């Protein structure tokens, strides 16, 4: 049994977050255990010790999505493992593992999900009539995103929140209930 260090603790928590979030898609279901195995087989946990720089992050992210998709191609999944699912896995893993490191989170891609896309679409964030948020919905949501559509969405987020990609999550209301908010008094 491996020694239970803080790094092991951080990896386990981040892997659970990422596998839970990315495996929740109705388009591709898998267990937390399988999600963690995919991340480990693809080498995502290695990024915690050797994170790509801001200059190389996008290219390395694309390569990691490909590695995750390759690893998933031989796994027992219920549905198709897309670039959108791989991206959500990567982004949730890094966000959970590196929370509090603003300098790094400034260039790490934020998780994209139905709630964020709907809020950005409703607010017409970006250029008036921006197609990207509508296009994601047309193609079946975040879990159906192709590599090209994902990269278009990230490019738009970079335009909207240059140098602080995490800040786009001001539109994400997933931490709230959609029902009337209960009173704390």
In the chain, where the domains are located = 6-171
Q: Which residue, 158, 176, 66, is CA-closest to 110? A: 158
pLDDT over threshold 70, residue 178? no
pLDDT over threshold 80, residue 88? yes
Helix spans in 23-146 (H) = 32-42, 57-72, 83-98, 102-105, 114-122, 132-138
Predicted confidence at residue 138, as pLDDT, reads: 86
Name the pLDDT band for 168 (thresholds 50, 70, 90): very high
**Which pTM does this prediction carry?**
0.90
Predicted confidence at residue 124, as pLDDT, reads: 76
CB 4 within 8 A of CB 61: no
Q: What's the mean pLDDT in 38-65?
A: 97
């Amino acid at each position: 049994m491996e020694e239970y260090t803080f790094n092991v603790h951080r990896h386990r928590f981040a892997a659970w977050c990422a596998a839970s979030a990315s495996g929740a898609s109705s388009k591709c279901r898998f267990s937390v255990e399988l999600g963690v195995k995919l991340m480990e087989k693809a080498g995502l946990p290695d990024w915690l010790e050797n994170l790509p720089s801001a200059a190389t992050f996008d290219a390395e992210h694309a390569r990691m999505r490909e590695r995750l998709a390759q690893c998933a191609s031989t796994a027992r999944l219920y549905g198709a493992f897309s670039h959108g699912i791989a991206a959500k896995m990567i982004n949730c893993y890094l966000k959970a593992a590196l929370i509090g490191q603003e300098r790094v989170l400034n260039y790490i891609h934020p998780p994209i999900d139905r709630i964020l896309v709907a809020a950005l679409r409703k607010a017409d964030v970006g250029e008036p009539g921006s197609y990207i948020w509508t296009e994601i919905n047309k193609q079946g949501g975040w879990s159906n995103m192709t590599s090209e559509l994902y990269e278009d969405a990230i490019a738009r987020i970079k335009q909207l929140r240059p140098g602080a990609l995490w800040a786009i999550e001001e539109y994400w209301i997933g931490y709230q209930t959609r029902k009337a908010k209960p009173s704390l008094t």
